[in-house]
């Protein structure tokens, strides 16, 4: 009887165990100046076989910093990145139907849009001597970061996926992430729900273990750009104009 009970408990636990996202393959490529690594990772979910891919622009905060670029003219990410001499970048925060930015933006030390509080706007990506991802309650403009942009929801905290995220609607996603030490990344994910993206980013992507990750505007807004070793670009363009971008530039 004890053996039967133990077998039953094991079966029940195995049945209840959540599906895992598993890395299938990956490849790395250096930027033209060697400061950034473009890492492409293909993953599959163990239970459903669903697939997703992640593109990361991985860098050290000692050699690179972030820049928020206003895009009032609605140009493409690729054009904005070249014009601003960025090495890599993604689309930025949310905006309203009138193309006005939503949430905090600090550009070159100047506050251009105020902090917003709400279920969606839950975090701030900020850059000074280091790169931080704060919860809104943790952030203060008195820190005087040179660059900051608000987004949400939070995806990963304390190296664990955030619970309770939307799990039905798959879409393209953009995000920022910080790891241990001086490592950080901007990234793009192919169609995934927010819940799946959180679980994907809680898995070690090669040697990059994410401690915190913050979502940015997704769907047709999501975009990723990286300047390759030969000077050409790897580009996933946005499908509509977006109000701002987050770029990586040398310190």
Q: What is the pLDDT of residues 25-60, one digit of tens each?
A: 999 999 999 999 999 999 999 888 899 999 999 999
- d(CA 92, CA 238) in angstroms, rounded, equals 11
In the chain, what are the domain boundaries? 20-250
Phi, psi dihedral angles at 114 (to 5 degrees): -85, 155
142-180 core/surface letters (b: 16 or more CB in 10 A; e: else): eeebbbbbbbbbbbbbeeebbeebeeeebbbbbbbbbbe
pLDDT computed for residue 91 by the predictor? 99
**pLDDT classification of 19: cutoffs 50, 70, 90:** confident
Distance from chain centroid for Cα 180:
16
Q: Does residue 13 have a pLDDT over 90?
A: no
Bridge partners, 4 (sequence order): none
Taking the CB of residue 51, how many other CB atoms lie within 10 A of it? Answer: 14
- If DSSP codes are grouped into helix, strand and coil, which group holds residue 33? coil
Q: What percent of the chain has pLDDT over 70?
A: 93
Asked whether residue 5 carries a pLDDT value surpassing 80, the answer given is no
9 sits in the region (left: phi over 0; alpha: psi -120 to 50; else beta) called alpha
111-120, 167-176, 178-187: range with lowest mean pLDDT: 111-120
Residue 234: per-residue pLDDT: 98
Q: Per-residue confidence at 232, pLDDT binned at 50, 70, 90?
A: very high
């Amino acid at each position: 009887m004890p053996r039967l009970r133990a077998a039953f408990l094991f079966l029940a636990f195995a049945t209840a165990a959540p599906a895992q996202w598993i890395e299938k393959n990956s490849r790395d490529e250096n930027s033209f100046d060697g400061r950034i690594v473009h890492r492409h990772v293909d993953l599959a979910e163990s239970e459903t076989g669903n697939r997703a891919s992640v593109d990361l622009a991985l860098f050290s905060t000692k050699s690179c910093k972030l820049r928020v670029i206003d895009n009032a003219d609605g140009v493409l990410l690729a054009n904005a990145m070249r014009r601003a001499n960025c090495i890599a970048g993604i689309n930025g925060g949310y905006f309203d139907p009138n193309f006005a930015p939503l949430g905090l933006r600090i550009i070159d030390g100047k506050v251009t849009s105020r902090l917003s509080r709400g279920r969606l706007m839950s975090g701030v990506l900020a850059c000074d001597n280091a790169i931080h991802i704060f919860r809104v309650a943790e952030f203060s403009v008195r820190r005087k970061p040179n660059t900051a942009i608000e987004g949400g929801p939070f995806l990963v905290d304390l190296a664990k996926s955030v619970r309770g995220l939307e799990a039905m609607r798959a879409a393209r996603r953009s995000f920022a992430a910080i790891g241990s030490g001086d490592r950080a990344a901007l990234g793009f994910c192919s169609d995934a729900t927010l819940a799946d993206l959180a679980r994907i980013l809680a898995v070690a992507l090669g040697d990059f273990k994410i401690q915190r990750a913050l979502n940015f505007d997704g769907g047709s807004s999501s975009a990723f750009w990286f300047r390759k070793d030969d000077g050409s670009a790897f580009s996933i363009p946005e499908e509509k104009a977006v109000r701002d971008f987050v770029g990586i530039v040398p310190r």
